Amino acid sequence: MALFFLFSYIQCPHSIGGAGSIDIRLAFLPPLFLLIACGAGLWPYKWRWVFMILSLGITFSFQFIRFPYVLKANQIGQEMMQAKNYLKPYSVVLNIHMDDWQKLDDQDSLFHRDGSFIHFSDFLGCEPNLPLILIMNYEAEINYFPVNWQHGKNPRESIASLMPGTYPPCGDPMPYEQQCEQKIDYVLIQNPRNYFSCDSILQGQLSRQFKPVYKNKYVELHQRLE
């Protein structure tokens, strides 16, 4: 099984959709099967200690290598959460992700090191005393997902150009209002990228009905005009 999944990982196309990042998830399976195989063996007492020490050494080594990216993701998450100071309770917030890969200054991708940053803006809905309706186009369109969209409500069908992972993210965000049957109070743009040709178009669309109220390196928050 370890060899099969290693071969599958090498041969599989790169992806960020469907059931998630398939290639990244496949990469975990070969060592997992090897770990089970080694852990289930009848090892002499001495070799059990060797196995445990090697396992701990490898684990701590990878954690040490990955930890700087965890700190970087934590920093980005804190910056994104600053938008909460400009949101009113019981508001409808539309999230638009402009760069799912979170390109860093050295052109590396934080997504390959820590995929949790994609969901940082979702955590705004977990803030105490700040109840919000967050509009996202996540995996509910997959048939085996426990909750599915009603007919005509799936953002991926009617606003496909604003799909995460589809660049440049052209499209009008306002049809979301018809889908959720509520006015959007705020538009939160995560990871704005001015080198996308549609960024200026999106900004122009927003300027007719929204005003910018907060901006940092990782988020832009636009509030509906009174």
151-202 residue pLDDT tens: 777 666 666 555 544 555 566 677 777 777 888 899 888 877 766 666 666 7
Mean pLDDT rounded to a whole number for the chain: 78
Using alpha carbons only, what angle is made at residue 37 by residues 35 and 38, rounded to the nearest 5 degrees? 65
What pLDDT is attached to residue 166?
52
> How large a percentage of the chain has pLDDT more than 90?
17
Owner of token pair 């007719």: 208
Position 203 pLDDT exceeds 80: no
Q: Is the pLDDT higher at 74 or at 159?
A: 74
Q: How far is CA 182 from CA 40, 133, 162, in A?
A: 56, 10, 19
Tell me if the pTM is above 0.75: no
- Upstream peptide bond of 164 is cis (omega within 30 degrees of 0): no
Position 6 pLDDT exceeds 80: yes
Position 88 pLDDT exceeds 70: yes
pLDDT by residue (tens digit) across 91-128? Answer: 999 888 777 667 766 666 666 666 666 778 888 888 88
